[in-house]
Structure 1
Amino acid sequence: MTERKTNLPLIIGIAIAIGIFIGSTFNYKNKSVLFSSNSSEAKIKRLINYIQYDYVDKVDTDSLLDDAISNMLIKLDPHSVYIPKDELKRVTESMEGKFVGIGVTFLMHEDSVAVTSVIEGGPSEKAGLKAGDRIIVANNDTLFGKSIIKKAGVTENELNTPLANRKISDAVMNSLKGEPDTDVTVSVYRRATNEILKFPITRDEVPIKSVSAYYMINKSLGYINIDRFARTTYDEFKLALEKLISEGMTSLVLDLRGNPGGFMDIANNIIDEFLEDGKLIVFTKNKSGEVDKSFATGRGDFENGKVYVLIDQNSASASEIVAGALQDNDKGTIVGRRSFGKGLVQQEMDLGDGSAVRLTTSRYYTPTGRSIQKPYIDKDTKSYNIDRFHNGELISKDSIKVNDELKYTTPKGKVVYGGGGIIPDVFVPIDTLNTYSTRLYGRLNEFIFNYIDDNREEISKWSLEDFVDNFDTDDKIFNQYIDELDLNYPIAPNSRKNLKLYFNAIMARNLFDETGYFMITQKEDNMILKVLELESAQ
C-alpha cells in the first residue's frame, strides 16, 4: 500500500499530462471522437480535484504536470520538448531576435551590475549610459549588494555558484525589461567621474543578433558567422552579404559551427542566395505521406560565388539543411566534422497556460532524398549522448561509420550518405592540443574587465584593425594576468600560446563585438586555415 501511494502522484500526473496534452495540442475536427463528458476529460478534472483536496500530502500539481509532460515527450523522440511558461518567453525572444528592454549587456562584477556594452541605437545609448557604468537602482529596485541577492532568491549555500549568478542575472533582467514604451529610471555609478547619475529610459525593442560577425579575411574571401536561425537572421545575413560583396568578396566562409538550428524558412531564404532558380532546397514528409518541397528562386546574390560551409558535431537542424542543400546541389565545399544529425521538424503548440510543446510533425530530406536523422535506439532512450570523441570520428574521417544502403549521388557524381549528419567534403579533426584549464582561464573575464575599466579612456582610442594587429605585442599586459594567477608551475608553450590568443580575443570582444573575437581566433583556427589552403590551391 505504501509503494502505491508513493507512485500515485507520478501515475496521476502522467494521466493528466496525456489528457491535457492531447486535448490542447491537436485540432481535431470532431473532438467527440476523443472525449465525451464521461471519458478522459471528465476523469482528468476529477483526478485533479482528488489530488488537490483528498491526497494525503500536499502536491504541487503544476510541477507534477510539467514533469509528467516532459517525461512523456522523451518517449517520443529526442527533439519533441516541453517548454514551461517561465522559460517560453526567453526562448521566444531568442528566436524572434528581439526583446523589450533598455539595451545593455552586463556582468556581475563583485557585488554590482557593470555595463559591458551599450547597444548601438538602443534606449540606453540615447539616454547617455556608457560602458563601465554600474547600475545600482532601477526604479525602486536596488540592484547591488545584499539587496540583489535577496531579490534573486539566492540562498547562502548557493553563493558564488553558477546557479547564483544565473538567478541574479535573471533578477536584474526582470527589473530592466518590460513592456514597450514603459519608463524606467536607472541610477548608475560612473567611476570615471566618481558620481551617481540618474537616467530616465523608455523601454523599446532591442535586437538580439544571430549573425554574430562578418568581415573580410583577405581581399577576396569574406566571413559570416550565424549562431542560430532566428526570425531576423535572413535580414542580418542579407545585410552582411551585400556589404562583403561591395568590398570585393568572391568567396565566402559561412560558419555554422555550434549552430543548433531554428526556423526552416529562414534557412531556405539563406540557401536561395547561393542556388540557381528552380534548384530543390529541401523537402519534408509527414506521417500522412504529404510532401512539401522548397525550391530556389532567381533572386540569389551569390549564385556565382564560391562558398565554404563550416560545420562541426554541434551543427544541427537548419544548419544541416543549409549544408545538405549546398552539398547535394554541388555548390561549394563543406568543411569540418560530421554534423549533429537532426532531421526532424518541430512545430510549437500552445498548451493554453503560457507553456508550449515543440512536437515533431515531419521529417526533412536533402535534395538527393537522404534523411540525416541519427537513429535513436528506442522510444525510451536517447542515443544522443554517444561520445564521438571516443568513437574516433572527431579525429579521423575514416572512423565515421556509413551505411552503404543510404548512399546517394549528387548531379555531378559526388557520393553522399544519409543516416546521421552531414559528412563534410573536407574533414578537419578537432584540435586535441587546444585544452582548457580552469586555473588558467577561470579569472580571464574578470581581469579583462578590470583592465578595461582602469584604462577605458586610453584603450578606447584603438581601432578594431589596429587592435587585431598590434595590441599587446610585447605581452606586457598578458604577463600581468599570468603574474596574478600566481602559478607554482610553468605553462606549456602550446597552452601559453592558446591562452594569449583568447586573452586578446576576449579583450577585443569586450572593446568591440564578436567580430573582433573571430578576427583574432581565426589566426589559429584550423578550419579557416584549411579554407585558406583550399583557396590558394585554386
Structure 2
Amino acid sequence: MNKNNYLPIYFAFAIIIGILIGSFFNGGTSASNLFAKKSSNEAKIKRLIDYIQQDYVDSVNTDNLLDGAITQILGKLDPHSVYIPKENLQEVTENMQGNFVGIGVQFRMIKDSITVIQPIKGGPSIKAGIKAGDRILKANNDTLYGKKYTSNTIPKYLKGQSGTEVNLQVYRKTNDSLFNVTLKRGKVAIKSVEVSYMINDSIGYIKLKRFARTTYKEFKNALKKLQKKGITDLVLDLRGNGGGYIDIANKIVDEFLEDGKLIVFTKDNKGNIDESYATHRGSFEKGGLYVLIDQNSASASEIVAGALQDNDRGVTIGRRSFGKGLVQEEKDLGDGSAIRLTIARYYTPTGRSIQKPYEKGNGKKYSSDINNRIKNGELLNKDSIKVVDSLKYTTPKGKIVYGGGGIVPDVFVAIDTTAYLNNFYFNTIQNFAFDLVDKNRKEFSKVALNDFIKSYDIEKAYKTYLNKINERLSDTRKRLHKQFNPTKESEKTIKQYLKATIANQIYGDEGFYRIIQSDDKMLLKVLELESSN
C-alpha cells in the first residue's frame, strides 16, 4: 500500500490525539472534568484503533500509525519538540548520559573484517589487551568476518548487559597471531572533551563536543591538567557543539564567572522564572578566555557563549551561532518511546532570547536557515549578518549585543572555503592512512607525537597516495591518460588532512587536531589577539 494512502489515517489519529493533549493542557479545566475528558478521549482512541485493526480493508501496522500521528502533532508545535521511537531511544539516551555498555572499541569495517581503530580508554577492551589494528573475527559463536556486515550491524554483537561475558576471537597482524580473549561488558565513556592540549607555553585548548551528564567532570579534569602546565589563557572550542543539558552548561560557565553573576534564566508557559547564578567554585575566573563558535554551535553552547559575552568575560570568536533558545524535557510514553517537549525559553543575562524565528509546523523552512546564511554571504562577511535593532541589548561594560537569532561573535572569522574536501578525498585518505599505519605499527610506535609533527615526511606519503589512487582508476580513464592530479590549492589541504589522519591512527584525537589546526583561522585569530594585548 502506498505510504501516501495512510495520510488520512495519520490526520485522523493526529486530530484525536490532539484533542486528548488539549484536555491535558487546558488550564481552566477542573480536575474532575479533566479526568472525565481524559477517560473519554482515551476510550475514543482505543475504539478507533480497534476498528482499524478489525475492519480496515488492508493490513495496517497501528503502531506505525500511532508513531506517525505523534510525529504529526509535535510537528505542529516548535521545531525542537520531537518524538523519539523506542528503537532510537537507547542511542539517544547513551549520548546524553555520556556512556554506553559494550566492549569499548572504535572500529571500522575494512575488507569485510571488524578492525579496531582504537580501544577506548577505561573500557573493557583496553583492559583486556585489545590493540589498534586487531581484527575481531568472532564474538561468542557469531562469525563476524566475511558476512558483508555494515558498521551499523556490528554493535548488537558487541553490546549487551553490563557484566555479561563475551568471548572474542582476535587476529593480531603485528605478530601474525590468532587468540581468544574473554571480557566482561561494562560502561564505556562517550567522550565530550574531544581533545585538550597546549597551543603554546601559555595558551590551553579544550574542544567540547556535547553537554552530556559526564561533560563537566571531563572538562574539569582537562582544565586541571592544563592549569598544572601553567596556562594563563584558555581557548574553549564550541564549534559544531549542538548542546545538551543546561545544568552542565551552567557548571562550565561557573568556572569562569565571579560569584553572584547571572548565567541564564528560563521562563515557562505560566511565567515562572528560574535563574542560575555563578558560585564561588570557579577555578579560572581571572585567566584570559576565548570562546570559539560557528553556525552549528547551538543550545547549551549558546548558553555558555551568551553568558560569558553578556558578562563581558573573554572574547567570543567565529560566526553567528545556530539560534536555539528553547528548553526541552524528555517525557516517557510508557512503551519504550519518548518525546522531547519544549517547556520553556531561556534568556541570556542581559535578557535576550537568541531563538531564531520559526513558524509552527514549518520545520522545513527552519532547517533551511543555513542555506539562507550561505546565500546571504554571512559565513564570509560579518556585514551580511542581519540583526534587529529592536532586539539590541547592552552589557555592563557597554558592549552592544543582539537577540533574535543566535550569538553574534565579538570577533568575526569567515569560513575557510579552501579547507574543505569532498567525500572522495575523505574516504580514500582514511583507507590509505589505515593501511600505511597497519603495515608499520611497530615503527610508528617508537615515534613521539611532537617528533612526528616536526619531521614526518608527508611528501613521500602523498606521492604514494597519488600512485595508489591512479592505480585504481578505471581502464577508460587510463586509456585517455587522465591521471588523478589535484590542483595546487587543494594539494596543501590534502597533504595536511593526510598527515593528520595518519597521526590520528597512531596517537588518537590529539594527533589529528594538533596537525589539522596548525593553520586554523580562528586559532590564528586568537594568537593575533594575544600578541596585540
TM-score range, shorter chain: over 0.9
Please report how far the alpha carbon of residue 63 of structure 1 lies from its aligned counterpart in structure 2 after TM superposition: 1.4
- Which of the numbers 352, 369, 383 marks the counterpart of 2:366? 383
Please report how far the alpha carbon of residue 194 of structure 1 lies from its aligned counterpart in structure 2 after TM superposition: 2.5
Deviation readout 1:201-232 (Å, 9 max, x if unpaired): 11111111100000110011110000100000
Please report how far the alpha carbon of residue 439 of structure 1 lies from its aligned counterpart in structure 2 after TM superposition: 3.5
The 5 Å alignment of 1:334-483 reads 334-381=316-363, 382-386=365-369, 387=371, 388-473=373-458, 475-483=459-467
Deviation readout 1:305-326 (Å, 9 max, x if unpaired): 0110000000000000000000
Q: Is 1:14 matched up with 2:9? A: no
Deviation readout 1:120-172 (Å, 9 max, x if unpaired): 332112222221111111112211213x54xxxxxxxxxxxxxxxxxx22321
Report the equivalent of 2:495.
500
Cα 1:504–1:55 change in 2 (3 A) is same
Deviates more, 1:246-255 or 1:21-30: 21-30
Report the equivalent of 2:62.
61
Report the equivalent of 1:119.
120
Please report how far the alpha carbon of residue 32 of structure 1 lies from its aligned counterpart in structure 2 after TM superposition: 4.5
Counterpart CA distance in 1 for 2:141 and 2:100 is 22
Report the equivalent of 2:82.
81
Counterpart CA distance in 1 for 2:366 and 2:75 is 12
Q: Is 1:193 matched up with 2:175? A: yes
Please report how far the alpha carbon of residue 489 of structure 1 lies from its aligned counterpart in structure 2 after TM superposition: 5.0
Deviation readout 1:216-260 (Å, 9 max, x if unpaired): 100111100001000000000101111111101011110000000
Counterpart CA distance in 2 for 1:31 and 1:495 is 70
Deviates more, 1:226-235 or 1:483-492: 483-492
Please report how far the alpha carbon of residue 524 of structure 1 lies from its aligned counterpart in structure 2 after TM superposition: 1.4
Deviation readout 1:413-457 (Å, 9 max, x if unpaired): 000000000000000001122232334333111111111111111
Amino acid of the structure 1 residue aligned with 2:186? D
Amino acid of the structure 1 residue aligned with 2:51? Y
Counterpart CA distance in 2 for 1:130 and 1:478 is 27
Report the equivalent of 1:484.
468
Counterpart CA distance in 2 for 1:26 and 1:190 is 64
Asked if the contact 1:15/1:44 (under 8 Å) is kept, the reply is: no
Amino acid of the structure 2 residue aligned with 1:44? I
Asked if the contact 1:17/1:65 (under 8 Å) is kept, the reply is: no
Counterpart CA distance in 2 for 1:230 and 1:3 is 37
Asked if the contact 2:258/2:285 (under 8 Å) is kept, the reply is: yes
SS of the residue 2:461 aligns to: helix
Q: Percent identity?
A: 55
Asked if the contact 2:108/2:116 (under 8 Å) is kept, the reply is: yes
Report the equivalent of 2:477.
none
SS of the residue 2:205 aligns to: strand
- Which of the numbers 274, 295, 301 marks the counterpart of 1:313? 295
TM-score by length of 1: 0.92
Asked if the contact 2:78/2:359 (under 8 Å) is kept, the reply is: no
Counterpart CA distance in 2 for 1:216 and 1:200 is 38
Amino acid of the structure 2 residue aligned with 1:118? P
The 5 Å alignment of 1:47-58 reads 47-58=48-59
Please report how far the alpha carbon of residue 384 of structure 1 lies from its aligned counterpart in structure 2 after TM superposition: 3.0
Asked if the contact 1:21/1:351 (under 8 Å) is kept, the reply is: no
Cα 1:306–1:31 change in 2 (3 A) is farther
Counterpart CA distance in 2 for 1:206 and 1:22 is 42
Counterpart CA distance in 1 for 2:230 and 2:11 is 64
Asked if the contact 1:19/1:44 (under 8 Å) is kept, the reply is: no
Please report how far the alpha carbon of residue 70 of structure 1 lies from its aligned counterpart in structure 2 after TM superposition: 1.5
Deviates more, 1:479-488 or 1:528-537: 479-488
Deviation readout 1:391-423 (Å, 9 max, x if unpaired): 111011000111110000000000000000000
Counterpart CA distance in 1 for 2:495 and 2:324 is 36
Deviation readout 1:471-522 (Å, 9 max, x if unpaired): 225x111211111121625322220101111111111222122111111111
Amino acid of the structure 2 residue aligned with 1:184? V
Counterpart CA distance in 2 for 1:30 and 1:417 is 43
Amino acid of the structure 2 residue aligned with 1:335? I
Report the equivalent of 1:153.
none
Amino acid of the structure 1 residue aligned with 2:11? I
Cα 1:281–1:197 change in 2 (3 A) is same
Cα 1:534–1:4 change in 2 (3 A) is closer
Amino acid of the structure 2 residue aligned with 1:331? R
Counterpart CA distance in 1 for 2:38 and 2:65 is 24
Counterpart CA distance in 1 for 2:295 and 2:314 is 20
- Which of the numbers 222, 226, 231 marks the counterpart of 1:240? 222
Amino acid of the structure 2 residue aligned with 1:530? K
Counterpart CA distance in 1 for 2:5 and 2:519 is 60
Deviates more, 1:2-11 or 1:107-116: 2-11
Q: Is 1:283 matched up with 2:265? A: yes
Amino acid of the structure 1 residue aligned with 2:232? T
Counterpart CA distance in 1 for 2:97 and 2:39 is 42
Counterpart CA distance in 2 for 1:393 and 1:305 is 31
Deviation readout 1:449-470 (Å, 9 max, x if unpaired): 1111111111111212222222
Deviation readout 1:239-290 (Å, 9 max, x if unpaired): 1111111101011110000000000000000000000000000000011110
Cα 1:20–1:57 change in 2 (3 A) is farther
Deviates more, 1:177-186 or 1:380-389: 380-389
What are structure 2's unaligned runs of at least 5 residues?
471-481
Please report how far the alpha carbon of residue 186 of structure 1 lies from its aligned counterpart in structure 2 after TM superposition: 0.7
Report the equivalent of 1:135.
136
Counterpart CA distance in 1 for 2:409 and 2:242 is 17
Counterpart CA distance in 2 for 1:31 and 1:389 is 54
TM-score by length of 2: 0.93
Please report how far the alpha carbon of residue 19 of structure 1 lies from its aligned counterpart in structure 2 after TM superposition: 6.4
